[in-house]
Amino acid sequence: MRIRVYPEPILLQPAILVKSVTKELREVVRKMIDVMYSHKGVGLAAQQVGLDKLITVFNPDPEREKERVLLNPKICLSKGNVEVEEGCLSFPGIYGRVRRASHVLVTGMNLSGKEVRIEAEGLLAQILQHEVDHLNGILFTAKMTPATKIQVQRQLKQLEERYRKAQGD
- Binding site residues, Co ion, CB under 5 A: 88
Of 90 and 168, CB closest to Co ion: 90
55/69 Cα distance (integer angstroms)? 7
Cα 103 to Cα 11, 44, 62, 81, 127, distances in angstroms: 25, 20, 21, 8, 11
Nearest residue to the partner Co ion, using Cβ: 88
Nearest approach in angstroms of CB 114 to Co ion is: 26
Nearest approach in angstroms of CB 80 to Co ion is: 22
168/134 Cα distance (integer angstroms)? 27
Cis bond leading into 14, ω under 30°? no
Nearest approach in angstroms of CB 163 to Co ion is: 17
Of 18 and 88, CB closest to Co ion: 88
Active site residues per annotation? 131
Of 88 and 128, CB closest to Co ion: 88
